[in-house]
Amino acid sequence: QARGLTKTFRVPRSASGSTRLHALDGVDLTVRRGETLGLVGESGCGKSTLARVLLMLERPDAGTLRYDGVDPFALRGRSLLAWRRRVQMVFQDPFASLNPRMSAGELIAEPWRSHPDLVPRAERERRVHELLEKVGLRAADARRHPQEFSGGQRQRIGIARALALDPEVIVCDEPVSALDLSVQAQVLNVLTELQAELGVAYVFISHDLPVVRHMADRVAVMYLGRVVESGPAEEVFTAPRHPYTASLLSAAPRPPTAQDDGPSRRIVLFGEVPSPTDPPSGCRFRTRCWKAEQVCATAVPADEPAPDGPQHLAACHLPIQPSDRGGSRAAAHE
């Protein structure tokens, strides 16, 4: 459970000095046991910084992270190590993230070096074979090297490696976006089956909305370091409240089976994402929002629940109403 996570980085600006980049600005996030939380947003919105904080690779400037009630940043030594085991990562590019000089078996066993008590030495080989089979590879694949596998197989190795420490949460950062379309579904199925079997939770980071819709129980939409909308995936996808979410959804190809009343017109946003070193006052989306009014420049919008969905929050002064959807959205930029 993350509350108010804030993270800024000092970046050089010119000869005259540096400026601060606001990567995260008061992010609230809850990940429940065994669920998939989809994390959506354009590049530069803070998703990767948030992932690094969740993995404890980055300490927030402000805000709290609680894991089963424990603040992991307050831990030291062995208890810190034990905590780290619980949250693991699957990277976007399985080729770049796997050392080509190590065999698949060595790659999967490597995390045990820093957690030597987890799996007794005598059981490691058997455990590696078991993990390979869990992700749909064969025990004999343990001897092969990353370059001998296809992209999809390499990502399966990445998943087996993440599972080696028996985590409770896996942060998946664009886990299939480097893969061919035909292979994506297979890897997603592996993740889904493992979740059903092991009860592991995923933080599933992706810009691919149909994939997120397929995978996520709940979603959080980020824009310029803030979560602008969050809630049960179906509610957010079929009835977005925040204009930014609506614009993302209108640009996304929809699965052919989707029967929804979501945005039916394409909303093309004007302007670029503002620089995170100089974010707009008030609502950070206001420079690109077709609904923006004076209040949006002066007041930061608070999270408000949807009238018919208390879990569905949007940070907008003028959230989209059901009556806005469809024809009356002529003001949207088409």
Closer Cβ to ligand SF4, 52 or 291, answer by number:
291
Interface mask (CB under 6 A) for ligand SF4, residues 298-317, using x and -? ---x--------------xx
Q: Are 111 and 164 in contact (CB under 8 A)?
A: yes
Closer Cβ to ligand SF4, 258 or 299, answer by number:
299
Interaction partner, residue 292 (ligand SF4, Mg ion, none; CB < 5-8 Å by kind): ligand SF4
Interaction partner, residue 36 (Mg ion, ligand SF4, none; CB < 5-8 Å by kind): Mg ion
Interaction partner, residue 56 (Mg ion, ligand SF4, none; CB < 5-8 Å by kind): none
Question: Which residue do the tokens 């998939």 mark?
Answer: 36
Shortest distance, position 36 Cβ to Mg ion, whole Å: 4
The footprint of ligand SF4 on this chain (CB under 6 A) covers a number of residues equal to: 13
In this structure, the chain runs to a length of: 334
Interaction partner, residue 252 (Mg ion, ligand SF4, none; CB < 5-8 Å by kind): none
Distance CA 236, CA 230 (A): 7
286 binds ligand SF4 (CB under 6 A): yes
CA within 13 Å, CB half, 320: 28
At 152, list the tokens.
Answer: 């999809």
Q: Are 131 and 163 in contact (CB under 8 A)?
A: yes
329 binds ligand SF4 (CB under 6 A): no
36 binds Mg ion (CB under 5 A): yes
Closer Cβ to ligand SF4, 34 or 262, answer by number:
262
Interface mask (CB under 6 A) for ligand SF4, residues 21-40, using x and -? --------------------
Q: In Å, how far are 107, 153, 157 from 141, measured between CA atoms?
A: 12, 10, 10
At 253, list the tokens.
Answer: 């190809």
Residues 6 or more apart in contact with residue 225 via CB below 8 angstroms: 22, 23, 24, 25, 27, 45, 46, 49, 276, 279, 284
291 binds ligand SF4 (CB under 6 A): yes
Query: Interface with ligand SF4 by CB under 6 A: which range of 111-119, 124-132, 230-238, 282-290?
Result: 282-290
Closer Cβ to ligand SF4, 237 or 244, answer by number:
244
267 binds ligand SF4 (CB under 6 A): no
What does the DSSP assignment read for 69-111? TB-GGG--HHHHHHHHHHEEEE-S-HHHHS-TTS-HHHHHHGG
Query: Which among 309, 161, 179 is positioned nearest to 231, based on CA atoms?
Result: 309
At 85, list the tokens.
Answer: 């085991």
Residues that bind ligand SF4 (CB under 6 A): 242-243, 283, 285-286, 289, 291-292, 296, 301, 316-318
Residues that bind Mg ion (CB under 5 A): 36
